[in-house]
Amino acid sequence: MNESPVLVHVWQVDPAEEAVAVRRLNEMFGEIVKDPGFVSARVLETADQTSIAVIMTMRSVEDRQRLEQLPDVRETLHHLHGTANMVIRLYHEIGSYSA
Domain assignment present for residue 37? The answer is no
Q: What is the predicted pLDDT for the residue at 85? A: 64
Averaged pLDDT, 67-88: 81
Domain assignment present for residue 66? The answer is yes
> Who contacts 55 (Cβ-Cβ below 8 Å, separation ≥6)?
6, 7, 8, 41, 42, 44
Which band of pLDDT confidence, cut at 50, 70 and 90, is reported for residue 4? confident
Domain assignment present for residue 2? The answer is yes
Instruction: Quote the Cα angle for 57-63-64, to 5°.
Output: 50
Q: What is the sign, positive or negative, of the torsion defined by CA atoms of 6, 7, 13, 16?
A: negative
pTM: 0.80
Domain assignment present for residue 60? The answer is yes
Domain assignment present for residue 75? The answer is yes
Count of structural domains within the chain: 1
Domain assignment present for residue 71? The answer is yes
Range of the domain at 82: 1-14+55-92
Domain assignment present for residue 79? The answer is yes
> Who contacts 8 (Cβ-Cβ below 8 Å, separation ≥6)?
53, 54, 55, 56, 87, 88, 89, 90, 91
Please give the backbone phi and psi of residue 64, each rounded to the nearest 5 degrees, phi first: -65, -45
Domain assignment present for residue 63? The answer is yes
Averaged pLDDT, 50-62: 91
